[in-house]
Amino acid sequence: MSQLGVGVIGAGMMGEVHAHLIAERIGSARVVAVSDPDGDRRRRVAESVGAAEVSDPLDVISDPEVQAVIIASPDQSHAEYAIASVHANKPCLCEKPLATTADDARAVVEAESAGGRRLVQVGFMREFDEGHASLVTLRDSGALGEVVAVRSTHINPAPWAPGVSAERVITQSMIHDIHSARFLVGSEVIAVSAVSVPFGDGAEGVDEGAVRFVTARLEMAGGAVALLDVNVASSYGYRVVAEIVGSEATARSAEGSAVEMWTSGAMVSAVSANWPDHFSAAYLTEVSAWVQAACGGGVTGPSAWDGYMANLVASALVEAEASGGRVELPTLSVPALYRG
Ligand code: ISE
């Protein structure tokens, strides 16, 4: 069987990760084109996977050799390229967030719905992480009872970005936890509130208004609550821990290295340096599942609707954090394409 031709838009950190997974770990696909406005970066990644260099991202999508597209360009361009992929009838894996505004995400949903076929998979890769997937399996088995609460701890190494505003933390980082809350609880968000902790005046090397921590409370339909924390300035590395508190039992994703060491009054276990190594297995599972679905002309996993819901909740959280209030979300009916 011939290999799926994949075009990669964006040769930054995630574009490179995906391009190498396809070139080195997935036999049923190959990278045929890579684009990036930075010529050196584009050349380096294209050469390393034996693909052609393309300067205009829209030419990647229209290239007849490209049968499926990976969108890993800057966030503000995601929606445009996702819509172009839909119009070209090509499955795409679009990095999160689907868009930078809920309106732009809605436009992707509308384009896809008009075509009547799911072609957009959003890169919420935690659905493909063994720990998160096992929590869903446990929940569905009934062993946890009713879901009472979900907790998500998300820690990025400092300096994630010295000028990071609460809005950026919410829309670029906490957006993962928002999606996790929806799929771990299994219901929609109905209201939100949020608080942030700034670095404080005069902190060295950080911009005015930068925050180091955001905590959010999501009220979910059905009565459960989701408590999400993002720390963008840890001094020790990267962690993500998810927990479901159930009426009968509580379960949490495990962390740490394969071994633990006891030494001089301490127990030591490894901490990942950053997300590409922490979630390396999840990225491989995600990309493999996407390639398999794309070979059949479709996609799997988080949908454009999920991307849109996450953007809506993120906007509500940005408003709640700025006002210090509680912001309610509208109840939307799920379009037919995304039901079931
Ligand atoms: C960051 O914004 C990302 O893009 C990664 O997907 C995520 O895992 C990380 O924690 C975020 O801060």
Give me the CATH number covering residue 12: 3.40.50.720
Domain stops at, among 276, 300, 334? 276
> Which tokens is 279 given?
């979630």
How many whole angstroms separate alpha carbon 100 and alpha carbon 69? 20
271 and 137, same structural domain? yes
Strand order in 29-35's β-sheet? 52-54, 29-35, 4-9, 68-71, 92-94, 120-122
Say if 316 falls within a structural domain: no
**Is the C-beta atom of 213 inside 6 A of ligand 1?**
no
Distance 336 CA to ligand 1 centre (A): 31
CATH of the domain at 199: 3.30.360.10
User: Are residue 108 and residue 71 in the same domain, yes or no?
Assistant: yes
Evaluate: CB of 253 within 6 angstroms of ligand 1. no
Q: Is the CB of 126 under 6 A from ligand 1?
A: no
Whether residue 261 sits in one domain with residue 251: yes
> Which atom number of ligand 1 is nearest to the Cα of residue 238?
10
φ and ψ at residue 246, rounded to 5 degrees? -110, 170
Question: Tell me, what's the pLDDT at 98?
Answer: 98
For Cα atoms 225, 93, 54, give the angle at the middle one, nearest 5 degrees: 145
31 and 157 belong to one structural domain: no
pLDDT at 163 (0 to 100): 72
Are 184 and 111 in a shared domain?
no
Atom of ligand 1 nearest to the CA of 123: 6
253 and 238 fall within a common domain: yes
Considering the domain architecture, whether residues 107 and 141 belong to the same structural domain is answered as no
In-domain check, residue 330: no
Q: Domain residues for 145?
A: 127-276
* 247 and 296, same domain (yes or no): no
Domain shared by 170 and 53, yes or no: no
> Is the domain of 132 the same as that of 272?
yes
262 alpha carbon to ligand 1 midpoint, in Å? 31
Asked whether the whole model's pTM tops 0.95, one would answer yes
For residues 281 and 133, what is the distance between their CA atoms, to the nearest angstrom? 12
Chain centroid to Cα 167, Å, comes to 16
Residues 110 and 140 in one domain: no
In a domain, 182, yes or no: yes
Which residue, among 64, 76, 15, has the nearest Cα to 42 in the 3D structure? 15
**Ligand 1 neighbourhood includes 231 CB (under 6 angstroms):** no
Predicted pLDDT at 1: 58
Which parts of the chain sit beneath pLDDT 50? none
Q: Is residue 72 part of a domain?
A: yes
Query: How many domains does the chain contain in total?
Result: 2
Let me know if residue 135 belongs to a domain.
yes
DSSP, collapsed to helix, strand or coil, labels residue 139 as helix
- Whole-number Å distance between alpha carbons of 152 and 181: 8
